[in-house]
Amino acid sequence: MSARIILIAKFRLGKIVSTPNALDQLTQDDILLAIQRHQAGDWGDVDEHDWQENELSLEQGFRLFSVYHAGSGVKFWLITEADRSVTTVLMPEDY
């Protein structure tokens, strides 16, 4: 029997979009897991300052920024706009 982790959504994602570069470099599983973590408030591999900034942004309704690594090791980002209308999956070089 495998353990299941239940993640609770803390905010709306809005429309989910991705850059073509991110779609070329990431698997669907990489993206889906990152979206789940991001929406649950697991900001991934950000430093302590950015983690705290995201916590404040969650409370105050500002932009949210997460950093993850794909199964292949490649780094990618998720950004949810302040109005929660769009969440973008992108590579750092796409910014």
Q: What is the pLDDT of residue 3?
A: 64
pTM higher than 0.85: yes
Distance from C-alpha of 4 to C-alpha of 54, rounded to nearest angstrom: 26
Q: Which two tokens stand for residue 2?
A: 């495998």
Classify residue 3: in a domain, yes or no.
Answer: no
Which domain does 37 fall in, by range? Answer: 15-94
The conformation of residue 94, written as its DSSP 8-state character, comes to: G
With 90 as the cut, is the pLDDT of residue 7 above it?
no
Classify residue 41: in a domain, yes or no.
Answer: yes
Give the tens place of pLDDT for each residue, 10-61.
999 999 999 999 999 999 999 999 999 999 999 999 999 999 999 999 999 9
Instruction: Provide the domain count of the chain.
Output: 1
Cβ 79 vs Cβ 87: under 8 Å: yes
Look up tokens 């897991």; give the residue: 33
Distance from C-alpha of 67 to C-alpha of 90, rounded to nearest angstrom: 10
Classify residue 71: in a domain, yes or no.
Answer: yes
With 90 as the cut, is the pLDDT of residue 1 above it?
no
